[in-house]
A and B are shown apart, each in its own frame.
Chain A
Amino acid sequence: MVRFILKRLGLALITLWLLSVIVFLLGQVLPADPGRSVLGPLAAPSAVRALDHQLGVDKPVLTQYWNWISNFPGTSYQYQAPIGPILTSALGRSLKLGIFALIILVPLGIIGGVVSALNAGKPIDRTIGIIGQSMLTVPEFVSGIVLIVVFAVELGWLPVTATAPPGSGFFTQLKYLILPVIPLVMVLFGYISRMARVGTIEALDSDYARTATLKGLPRGVVVRRHALRNSLLPTITVIATQTGYLIGGLVVVEVLFRYNGIGELTFNASTQHDIPMLEACVLTIGALYMLVTLVADIGYSLLNPRIRLKAAE
């Protein structure tokens, strides 16, 4: 088991390093002329050269990579301030939004999937499936705009933005986050309910569920005690792998609802060509994603004796 976890950690570290290389290449090699893109087309060539030198972008690529990684996260071009504090407070706000979304999404998705599985092949199963599949591909800004038009502008029930006035209490903040959370939930509902459905159907088809039924246990007990326990584990792993989509969705939702989380920070960094900020954001997002999948993977294997034993062999 320890070997299994160490192997997973090792692989994750390699992937993280590769990710940093990809991010570095995307951010530093692609824009041919960072000094020019910061100062604009009218700046004197000598000023551009001076800035390039100050930024260190005139050094060899390997030196640049080392400088970047050893000074991580570095200084923002745009704010002229260390990236660390800006990034962490934005990340905190995004986590608030993301976790709120998960709190609504996970039970809803699992209930949807289990209801589907228990009615497999019936119209209600098909309906949940089609609704889930359809919502999966509606971009967040589309469902978000419809929600804003209906609930914020026409009915006036909820605010148009996501940022509550400073110093507001927990429930006021929550009220501001309701509309932004719905598009995130809509997009991921389909995945989670589908996985929960497949898992539950498999578990209900299994020998132990049949034995439980044959020995006369009521259906409710078979579902709760035997099927769900086994089907929910894979669902949890799937939820972890969807963190990436959730973060992608956060970018759009934060921009649409004017919420200053890491998504909006990344977006602004990319439009302002604030390359150190952009790189820091993307690497943080990627690392976060990998951390979540890693924890889910290890947690899954710890909880599931079959995998635990196989890994020990």
Chain B
Amino acid sequence: MSIVDIPIEDAGALQAGRSGVRREVFRELLRSPTFIVGAIVLAIWIICAIFGPVLAPHSPYAQNLEGINKAPSSGHLFGTDQLGRDMLSRVIVGSRDILIIAPLATLLGTVLGTVIGLLMGYFRGFVDDVLGRFVEAFLAIPLIVAGMIALSTLGRSNLVIIIVIGLLFTPLIARTVRAAVLLERELDYVAAARLRGERAPYIMFVEILPNVFAPIMVEFTVRLAYAIFAVLTLTYLGLGVQPPSPDWAVDIQANYGVVPAGYWWEVLFDALAIATLVVSISLISDSVQKALEG
């Protein structure tokens, strides 16, 4: 059967089939306990990020030098830090920066990585070889080390973190997209589009892109957890969000010195907050992967 023989209705059926698959994936997700747990925990942190200042019992900045390093009590459920600030309030409000920075950085990396991956996978040959070498060389520098160098030379604003993490993720995402495109480009519909005389950008972005959307989605959720990992680690190293902003990693870095004195609550709740956030995203990405792979 050649292309012209395919009745127009079948093309419609294909379209319907695709959105049907999406509904099926969504239903599958709602049946998965892992996804539900992950989504609830993430939702709680998103609510904290948006309404934090309203929800927090105290101001996260308000110092009380007469009540420093107080253990958790009914007045301060998570205790107070070295400046007498309420740790519970700082943990609640601390979710905001990371939930803005990490998704934007991941989005930047995903968009750039998808474009480069499409180019590499579609054109192969010279473009693929040259870009591939660069990707390889870049991957030899551990992400945290590269981020450290970039942030210590470029300065430490949130915008710089987003751009740096986004750019560092680009080659990783490009590699995944390239692999998916290599499989797709051999399929009949791509050959058909080429025979119709469509131009390369059209084939890449209109024909191939929707079909490699699933791996890109999976990659996005996986990378999001890593973006949080990377941003918080760099912040912990003193290269990210700066004090006195309430931020989990900033607090851990600032209060780490007093832990040996027994003031564990000044770092432990921040650590648990980070752990629950990244684990919730891992659970979501794990179940999205399961649902898409069927």
Given contacts A138-B274, A142-B271, contact A133 B145 (CB under 8 A): no
Residues of B within 8 A of A22 (CB): 137-138, 141
Please report the number of residue pairs spanning A and B whose Cβ atoms sit closer than 8 angstroms: 147
Report the separation of the CA atoms of residues A19 and B146 in the bound assembly, to the nearest whole angstrom: 12
Per-residue B-contact encoding for A227-269, CB less than 8 Å = 1, 0 else: 0000000000000000011011101100110000000001100
Report the separation of the CA atoms of residues A270 and B281 in the bound assembly, to the nearest whole angstrom: 31
Interface residues on B, range: 35 or more
Given contacts A26-B153, A133-B286, A139-B236, contact A153 B134 (CB under 8 A): no
Selected from A145, A160, A266, the residue in CB contact (under 8 A) with B252 is A145
Per-residue A-contact encoding for B128-147, CB less than 8 Å = 1, 0 else: 00000110111111111110
- Sample 26 A-B pairs with CB under 8 A, ordered by A number: A15-B137, A18-B133, A23-B141, A26-B149, A30-B153, A133-B286, A134-B278, A137-B281, A139-B233, A141-B232, A142-B274, A145-B271, A149-B259, A160-B259, A160-B260, A244-B142, A247-B142, A251-B145, A266-B145, A270-B152, A271-B238, A273-B152, A282-B141, A282-B145, A285-B142, A289-B140
Verify B140–A286 contact, CB threshold 8 A: yes
A-B pairs, 7 with minimum CB distance: A248-B142, A18-B137, A286-B140, A137-B225, A248-B144, A137-B278, A30-B153
Residues of B within 8 A of A248 (CB): 142-145
Per-residue A-contact encoding for B69-110, CB less than 8 Å = 1, 0 else: 000000000000000000000000000000000000000000
Residues of B within 8 A of A249 (CB): 144
Given contacts A138-B274, A248-B144, contact A130 B232 (CB under 8 A): no
Residues of A within 8 A of B173 (CB): none
Judge if B267 is at the interface, Cβ distance under 8 Å.
Answer: yes
Per-residue B-contact encoding for A124-143, CB less than 8 Å = 1, 0 else: 00000110011011111111
Residues of A within 8 A of B279 (CB): 134, 137-138
Judge if A146 is at the interface, Cβ distance under 8 Å.
Answer: yes
Residues of A within 8 A of B256 (CB): 145, 256
The minimal Cβ–Cβ distance linking A45 to chain B, given in whole angstroms, is: 21
Residues of A within 8 A of B140 (CB): 15, 19, 244, 285-287, 289-290
Per-residue B-contact encoding for A149-179, CB less than 8 Å = 1, 0 else: 1001110000010000000000000000000
Given contacts A14-B133, A15-B133, A140-B233, contact A251 B278 (CB under 8 A): no
Judge if A278 is at the interface, Cβ distance under 8 Å.
Answer: yes
Verify B260–A134 contact, CB threshold 8 A: no
The minimal Cβ–Cβ distance linking A161 to chain B, given in whole angstroms, is: 10
